[in-house]
Amino acid sequence: MSFSIEKIKDNIGVEIKADKETLLSGKHSTEIREALEANGVFVLKEINFTSEEQLEFTKTLGHVIDEGEGGIYKVTLDTKENEHADYLKGAFYWHMDGSTLDVPILASLLNGFKPSETGGNTEFCSTYVGYEDLPEEDKAAYKDLRVVHSLAAAQYYVHPEPTLEQISTWNMMPSRTHPLVWAHESGRKSLVIGASASHIEGMDYEEGRALLHKLRIHCTQPKYVYSHKWTKGDLVAWDNTGTLHRATHYPANSGRMMHRTKLEGEEPIA
Ligand code: OGA
Ligand code: MN
């Protein structure tokens, strides 16, 4: 019954070393939740969870979202495996999951069922540390700004010249306006940015977009980023409330298959 947590990088990521039995017992769930919030990402190398074990482990950390097959969602570009695979191309750009929800999801857990032979890393950056490291005058300037997030904004990255049908499908998902700076109940603050961030409310449109890109460039500097190179059976989880993530390029026919579970959000952006 071994259990240890070691930092991967100063600003982001820890590796948890433990056996399956210890993890599934839930004995360390509070410690794991705290490590996730404090470090943005945790990695369980080659833990090789079955779907049942992944679900069971996810349940020890919070409330599992019922998505996909009984809570397991297939992240793949293979449309035979997932009919909505085309939307997942949006994952090649820095983003938060569920940013058009009032309460964004707390965390996602990805099980590397079949990594791609080439590319297909998953990368994470901390929007907590990115915010904390901003100059004080910038923090003051951003204090009351509000940012509009939409599915369409994220999908324009994938389809820069969409059909009208694509646009109307995207627009069925209502956009959502959030504070740019999320003041969490814990007292920490993070930036609510990423590909779904369309513009800043009440600011000149292009000026607002330039600011959102400036913040993305700031938060994704190498010192804030952990890039996970997958080995089959790795499980990687991210705190979706204080990180952005993306997949690096991989071929659509690579067979890459990730099994994802999600934890329901517990705190609205405020
Ligand atoms: C996701 C996601 C990235 C990846 O599942 O939400 O963005 O590397 N995945 O597959
Ligand atoms: Mn995602």
Chain segment 29-67, per-residue pLDDT in tens: 999 999 999 999 999 999 999 999 999 999 999 999 999
Looking at the CA of residue 248, tell me the nearest atom of ligand 1: 8
**Residue 106, pLDDT score:** 98
**pTM for this prediction:** 0.97
Tell me which residue has its CA closest to atom 5 in ligand 1: 75
Centroid of ligand 2 to alpha carbon of 135 (angstroms): 29
Q: How confident is the model at residue 163 (pLDDT cuts 50, 70, 90)?
A: very high
Which residues 6+ apart lie within 8 Å of 232 measured at CB?
46, 48, 112, 113, 114, 115
What is the mean pLDDT of the segment spanning 252-267? Answer: 97
> Of the candidates 217, 249, 228, which has an alpha carbon nearest to the alpha carbon of residue 127?
217
Centroid of ligand 2 to alpha carbon of 137 (angstroms): 31
Q: How confident is the model at residue 171 (pLDDT cuts 50, 70, 90)?
A: very high
Mutation to probe ligand 1, out of 93, 246, 248, 249 (largest number of atoms < 8 A from CB): 246
Centroid of ligand 1 to alpha carbon of 93 (angstroms): 10
**Residue 1, pLDDT score:** 76
Which residues 6+ apart lie within 8 Å of 213 measured at CB?
none
Looking at the CA of residue 122, tell me the nearest atom of ligand 1: 8
Spatial contact of 262 and 61, defined as CB atoms under 8 Å apart? no
Tell me which residue has its CA closest to atom 3 in ligand 1: 247
**CA–CA gap between residue 51 and residue 65 (Å, rounded):** 14
pLDDT in tens, 122-156: 999 999 999 999 999 999 999 999 999 999 999 99
* Average pLDDT over all residues of the chain: 97
